[in-house]
Structure 1
Amino acid sequence: MRPPKQPVSVLVVIHTADLDVLLLERASHPGYWQSVTGSREGEETLVATAWRELAEETGIRTGELSDWSIRNTYDIFPEWRHRYASGVTRNVEHVFGLRLPNKPEIRIAPAEHLNWCWLPWQEAAERCFSWSNRDAIRLLPILST
């Protein structure tokens, strides 16, 4: 049996120098697009969590990873609370950016995602279902310099 998920996660906005953003379509919710996300496991650092999730969800293992020093606290959707310890209802998300020199081939995790696409940052922000993901992408022109 797996231990409960920790209510500590990362959001990684993957982008190019031209500010194109990679989005992934959730398998559990077709039509819901997002950046790479995932919960910390064990005692791993947040940077280690970001790299693990990048590799698992996209196959990406290189690039310029930066901690944007943004923390978002939000309610965990009721449908996903069973994954956490009893009584846990809120999550703290740590936002990172990953700058890539080009658009690599993406290998999605089929159990998690249906599809992927690269979009200009403005379009990517509008497509995200998550307010925290949308807000992070909107900061990209400022934080990517």
Structure 2
Amino acid sequence: MEGTYHPDLEDRMLAETICSAVSVAGLGIAAIAAYRKRFLSATRIAAYALVPLGLVMTGAVQWIVDTAFSPVAWAGFGVLGLALLLFMSTRAVERRRGGRRQTGGGAEPKAVAPAASAASRGVTAAQPRAGQAPGDDFSDIEAILKKHGI
């Protein structure tokens, strides 16, 4: 089968050649950095340079090339993008409503302890906590919790 064109094989070989060349160039730069006695930088550069070579050796490059030229894979990415868009739009709607969810029975979500007294929280009007103004018994925290429906 000499002279036969195999686009998948040639694309994969091109990607593997590029990754190998990037690794060799990175290792050369790491050697120069080590020669200049910048060993920490040289080690970090060598680590980055070995990643493309490792991807080639594990077959990840072949998988990436096969995925990049597959219409089914691109359709799958489109479906994943649509799912992400739907998730984000529902989050945006929830935030606009103030975190309230509509329930089928018409019942509003209730707070766990809506009528908790100051005494049950350990704060009395006569004895405010240290650094707290009298009468300021977590009303700002309660407002935030109510805002989020807690």
Provide the TM-score with structure 1 as the length reference.
Answer: 0.16
Return the index of the structure with the highest Cα Rg: 2
Higher helix share: 2
Which structure is richer in relative contact order (CA contacts within 8 A, separation 6 or more)?
Answer: 1
Q: What TM-score, normalized to structure 2? A: 0.16
